[in-house]
Amino acid sequence: MLQGKKILLGVSGSIAAYKAALLVRLLVKEGAQVKVLMTPAACEFITPLTLATLSKQEVGVHISEHGSWSNHVMLGRWADVMLIAPASANTIAKMANGICDNLLLAVYLSATCPVLFAPAMDEDMWLHPATKANVAKLLSYGHRQLPVHRGELASGLFGEGRMAEPEAIVSYLYTFFTGRPEGQPLKGKTALVSAGPTQEPIDPVRFISNHSSGKMGIAIAEALAEAGATVHLVLGPTPKETRHAGVTTQKVVTAAEMFDACTAFAPQADIMVMAAAVADYRPRSVADKKIKKKDDEMNLELEKTADIARALGASKQSHQLLVGFSLETNNEREYALKKLNDKNLDMVVLNSLNDPGAGFNYDTNKITLLRANGQENQLPLQSKQEAAREIVSAIIDMQHG
């Protein structure tokens, strides 16, 4: 979402400096070019080496480093935006009053780009009249302040002063560059997500199912809700669940129930993500009593279940996006592309059981995103939450592109 954007990240001396590592990683994953500046105090909380490794750029701490004393002028002209996160009370005070006693502040005073800052301090410091006056000054300069969060603070108290989380900062930057609602690029959109397995009964005791936990589909539902969508989750039988306020869950058991729930909701959906592991076959007849063990063998006659993704693809409207999943063990890309074309999908998410750490029940996944327009994006092994954000990022790109 931030492809090619030049972001100059200033890290000041706050315990929240440790979050800069995740912030840099997320920005780089979004396609941004990131250069990091640190105050000497920030180096007490996180090393320049860590941020240099993640950004793949030298990290500036002292004004005499990296060639010329005038390097601070070039850095200030290079960036599309200067983001100071965390911005400590001390650094905010110096920015407000034009004090220039370290490289970060020298670059700040030389910057010709917009400046954003994410405060981080204890609640009493945040509420102090001096801090309020300094923040007001920065706002009067045309700078933008990221929201301060409530929560547990380094002092052990609970209150205002926490730095915005890295994911929220990335969303804020997306809004800054695109003009779309803050952190809500899918605001006003309705999404349908299927997740989990189905169970196809043989008798009152036994059923046919699979190892799906529903973790991936639930993560996608939550990521869509974080992006502003109103999400309807159709969830198969699994102990996993979501309590996200933006997600409404409808629980089902069988493939037929999931088909009915998805096709009934589909006409009102802008985005449809079919992440459930739906049974392809079910017993043709279900015994009303437990089948007793008699012979050495038992034969079950199976029939095909209705293909939910195919049905949604056949009735898909021009404004709707349909995403399917393809879990394979061989000829992975070939089968995924066939599914993409045969079912009229806009994107298929391919993952292979041959990849360690991917597939059912893991907390991680390794996926490839294949779009109908021919774009392909192979992603490394990552948490299912991170994979979900990648999928939603691709959905946002398709929605607005």
Q: Is 259 annotated as a binding residue?
A: no
| Amino acid at residue number 316 | K
Tell me which residue of 252, 177, 224 sits closest to 388, measured CA to CA: 224
- Joined together, the tokens standing for residue 342 give 């045969």
- For residue 369, what is the enclosing H or E element? strand 368-371
Q: Is 94 annotated as a binding residue?
A: no
Contact criterion met (CB below 8 Å) for 7 and 33: yes
Q: Is 316 annotated as a binding residue?
A: no
Which residues 6+ apart lie within 8 Å of 6 measured at CB? 32, 33, 35, 78, 79, 80, 81
Phi, psi of 37 (to 5 degrees): -120, 140
Which residues 6+ apart lie within 8 Å of 338 measured at CB? none
Q: Is 293 annotated as a binding residue?
A: no
Helix 215-226 to helix 384-400 angle (10° resolution) is 50
- Among residues 90, 210, 344, 377, which one is catalytic? 210
Cα end-to-end distance, the chain, whole Å = 11
- Joined together, the tokens standing for residue 345 give 């999908």
Q: Is 270 annotated as a binding residue?
A: no
Tell me which residue of 303, 335, 339 sits closest to 322, measured CA to CA: 339
Tell me which residue of 229, 248, 245 sits closest to 183, measured CA to CA: 229
DSSP state of 74: H
Q: Does residue 354 have an active-site annotation?
A: no
Phi, psi of 165 (to 5 degrees): -65, 150
Which residues 6+ apart lie within 8 Å of 70 measured at CB? none
Tell me which residue of 171, 122, 130 sits closest to 148, measured CA to CA: 122
Would you list which residues are annotated within the binding site?
280, 290, 325, 339, 343
Catalytic residues: 210
Q: Which residues are annotated as a binding site for CTP?
A: 280, 290, 325, 339, 343
